[in-house]
Amino acid sequence: MEAVRILKAIGVQPERTIRIALWSGEEQGLIGSRAYVDQYIATRPVSTDPEQLAIPARVRDVTWPIQLLPGHARHVTYLNMDNGSGKIRGVYAQENSAVQPIFEAWLKPFNDLGADTVTLRNTGSTDHIPFDDVGVPGFQFVQDRLDYSTRTHHSHLDTYDYARREDLMQASVVIASFLYNAAMREEPLPRKPVPVE
């Protein structure tokens, strides 16, 4: 939200819509982001296998083929920041080699703030995965690890006291720049092929 506030404060008029999402159920199987993708971007056939229907949807086998919805073409990218506090160091390109030079150029102004890495590696378990799984360019930012234990992270003890103001300021500026560049880019970001069985 701070990244968008920055863009509004400086008065930019993006060529594309910038949408912010706060998902629920990420730790329970990416429930919110998967529901959004299913409703607006792409669907998969519902399994008719009784064994599959007896288990939670988030752990069922993947079904084919992917059916693209009108929103698939309209979503040019999905950028995800999952780790809260923790300085942004770069971005995972999710094996999309065509975006690597683009992201390197977008990060260049922030190299002196420590954001200088574009890795082709995949990272999972965050809300960019449902987008990437259906061919929408979805990316997760690389961040410093939080310095508190797993007993705090993702628990009722995880409070604002653990957030680092300076890290969040740096992250907001980097994300604002990525949002601006994605919204103003003449061409949509390069896509990987839509997965097939």
Angle in degrees, CA 44, 50, 53, rounded to 5: 50
- Nearest Cα neighbor of 109 from 51, 43, 180, 49 is 180
Structural domain count, the chain = 1
| Side-chain half-sphere CA neighbours of 164 within 13 A | 15
Structural domain contains residue 47: no
Assess if residue 154 is contained within a domain: yes
Residue 161 DSSP symbol: G
Rounded Cα distance between 152 and 148, Å, is 7
Residue 62, domain member (yes or no): no
For residue 140, give the nearest of 151, 155, 125, 153 by alpha carbon.
125
Helix axes 2-9, 165-184, angle to 10 degrees: 60
Residue 175: predicted pLDDT:
98
Pairwise CA distance, residues 37 & 130, whole Å:
7
Burial of 145 (0-12, 13-18, 19+ CB in 10 A): exposed
Across all residues in the chain, what is the average pLDDT?
92
Tens digits of residue pLDDT in 144-163:
987 656 666 667 777 888 78
Is the predicted pLDDT of residue 166 greater than 80, yes or no?
yes
- Please list the residues that pair with 78 across neighbouring strands: 138
Full domain range(s) for residue 11? 2-19+74-184
Q: Is the backbone peptide bond immediately before 65 cis, with ω within 30 degrees of 0?
A: yes
Confidence check: pLDDT of 178 > 90: yes
Q: Assign residue 160 the CATH number of its domain.
A: 3.40.630.10
Confirm whether 40 is domain-assigned: no
pLDDT band at 109 (very low <50, low <70, confident <90, very high): very high
Q: Output the six-digit token pair for 145.
A: 């690890």
Confirm whether 44 is domain-assigned.
no
Domain-embedded: residue 83: yes
Asked whether residue 68 is domain-assigned, the answer is no
Residue 124 has pLDDT above 80, yes or no: yes
Question: Looking at the domain assignment, is residue 54 inside a domain?
Answer: no
